[in-house]
A and B are shown apart, each in its own frame.
Chain A
Amino acid sequence: MSQSPPTVGLVIVSHSSDVARGTAEMARQMVGDEVTIVHCGGDPDGGLGTDVSKIVEAIDQAWSEAGVAILVDLGGAETNSEMAVEMQPAERQDRIRILNAPVVEGAVMAAAEAAGGSPLSAVQATAEELMGQP
């Protein structure tokens, strides 16, 4: 039985767990099970915010040898995601990127790119192209 090469995993981080879940759902509709998409949102008490330990867990769940792309919504989601990346083992850190792209559109584009077996750099470029549009 031949194994297909690993695809880039996605982590969706939003201040709202509803937004994170909905975004993951939209991206999954594009790509089915070809890409591992993990979402997390909400602060440690369940209010609006983000939680470093949840993000660390999500990265673990989404981990693939091809790497992990993280989509974030606002300020603290990015800062907390950076913190979570720094807590990963050193050999993983080079293969994790926080994408500079809008969370919903970026997740859909990244998922579509990842599903085709593209490397992390291509997944990042495709999602980030959205920011370059006039």
Chain B
Amino acid sequence: MTTGIPAPLHLMRAGLRMLPAPALRLVLRRISASLPRNHPDLVRRLVRVAPGRYLFEPTDLTQRFLLCIGDGGVILTLAAPGEAADAAMRGKLAMLIDLLEGRLDSDTALFARDIIIVGDMNRAVAFRNILDGETINLVGDFLARFGPLAPPLGRAAARLHRRVDAARRRLVGVRDRVHRAAHHGHDPNEDLARTGAQIDDLRHRVGQLERRVRRAPETT
């Protein structure tokens, strides 16, 4: 699944290791404050469907994080030692981030033993399912809130993301025509043959762009 750790995550992990607790608390507070602005639907649904206290325990860090979802909204803080929670998720930081940002399927991670979830499974499942409804960018948010590196990195990544999106939209458009043909009783094979090359070309280009996105932080 996640092969190798992308550079932004390295930065984030380094940041988490180096930052003194008060500074880290400030960053977390700012991320918490930005959530209702950037993801109002997500926050509303989390509060309604998955209220509770969720502990995140990266096995490769000394800190643990507590996400409180309740009437006060969604608040991310550093967890105190022995902090009580409804459910806890344990695994490498990269895994936890991939899960939270929707890149990794939590069942897959559980099957592979990359994570373990303990506590109230009903809440944990609700939390996971609600979170999966929207794309959030924790690493980006984190980096955007500390360090001079953030702006150029963010701009480069955004540019590439836009190009990937455009290419993907074209691919979906081609695909739509095939499906219309298939569902309306035309011979889809004919259509497929005609558009096959086009799809291949687009897929190739999307692949290239995606690889560049992955490499982006190193190349900027």
Partners in one complex: no
Chain B contact residues, CB within 8 Å of chain A:
none
